[in-house]
Structure formats: structure tokens, C-alpha cells
Amino acid sequence: MVSRRETWTTEEFGTSHTGAVEAVLADGTVPPPVYFDAGSGGGGDPVSQWSVYDGHWPHTPKAAALRAVCSCGWTGPEHRLDWEAIGDQDLEDGGSEQADAGERDWDGHTTEVETTTVPLPETVTTLLERLEAEIARLTKTSPVAGVRAARHLEIVAERVGYWAARDTAADLDTAQAAAHLGLNEDAARKLMARFGRWSPYR
């Protein structure tokens, strides 16, 4: 069962790079998820949100630091918690500075991931940005026209993506394609299958 905690993704990389802040104990280990009794006797859902590790209850150890992590395996630097300064505050408030620092670390990580992807020509990125701005401007005056324009974008993406995916599959294996796209192999396989119109389980 997956424990509940706040996570973040980017539009381009999606769940291939899911970020979160995790608590780290004084001995350097990561505490297990905490179960809060929902009153039904079932123990409740597991929670690993960093702010619950305040040491206020026997089953909730006290975090010594916070750090960002990513579903790709990347781990950010630790940001130590000053419990004397936190005092009687809830950890959600007293540790917000360290948690925000962790989120910035993850932002930096995704920026680094982007630098490893296959670069797009400036002419293409400029055209895409201009097209997005033009459709947004059109939507302000005629929302239904904006919908039609978005539908045309889908058609174009399906058309050009078909041959792009098939040619990529002929040139690269899944691991290589994933590295160029900044995705994990499962996400890359599904993306290529969607554009190339084949089963992702072939």
C-alpha cells in the first residue's frame, strides 16, 4: 500500500520524476509510514508526510532533517531541523523553511534532467510558445474556437508523432529513448506506443 504524502511532478516528465520531501531521523534512516487510527479498528491509512514526524506520539519519531527525493532515485541534501527554534510550533509550520528548501532542490534536479534530454531547435520551441500564446488569446474572445484549435493540435500531434515514434523505435531501444526523453522506461514505452499506435505490451 502506498503511503500518503504531498508530491509534485512537472508537465513534461510526469510521474517519471515525482518529487516529495521526506523526514530523516538522527541516525540517518528514513522512518516508516505512520498509521493513524481512523476509529474503525483497521489502523487507518499509512502516512509518510514529513510534517507528522514531530515525536509527539510514541509511534511518530522525531525528524532530525528534511530532504527532497524523486521517484527516479535521486536524493537531495539534508536540511537540519532546529527543534529549539521550532519549540511548540507544529512541524508543518516550524519546518516549512527546510521543506521549501527541499522543494527547490527538486526543482533544480528536474532542471538538470531537462539538460540531459534531446534538445529541440529554438525555431521549434519558439513556434510552440507562440502557438500556445495565440490559442490562449483566441480563447479569451471565443472559447469554442480555442477548443477547435486545441483539437487541431491533437490531430497534428497524432500525425507527426506516428512517424516520429516509429522511426525512434527503429533507431533506439526503450532505455535509450527514455534517457533522451527524460522519462522512465515504462513511461517512454507507453508514450511511444500511444504515438506509434501499437500495444505497449507487445
Q: Looking at the predicted structure, is the pLDDT value of residue 43 above 70?
A: no
- For every residue of 13-72, DSSP letters joined together read TGGGG-EEEEEE-TTSPPPPPEE---SSSS---EE--GGG-EEEETTEEEPSEEEEEETT
Say whether 74 sits in a helix, a strand or coil.
Answer: coil
Write out the three cell numbers for 101. 528548501
Average pLDDT rounded to a whole number, residues 39-46 = 64
Instruction: Please tell me whether the overall predicted TM-score, pTM, comes out greater than 0.85 for this model.
Output: yes
Q: State the pLDDT at residue 39.
A: 56
Q: Are 20 and 7 in contact (CB under 8 A)?
A: yes
Quote the percentage of the chain above a pLDDT of 70: 96
CB 30, CB 23: distance < 8 Å: yes
How high is the mean pLDDT of the chain? 94
pLDDT at residue 40 tops 60: no
What's the rounded mean pLDDT across residues 157-164? 97
For residue 46, pLDDT beyond 80 = yes
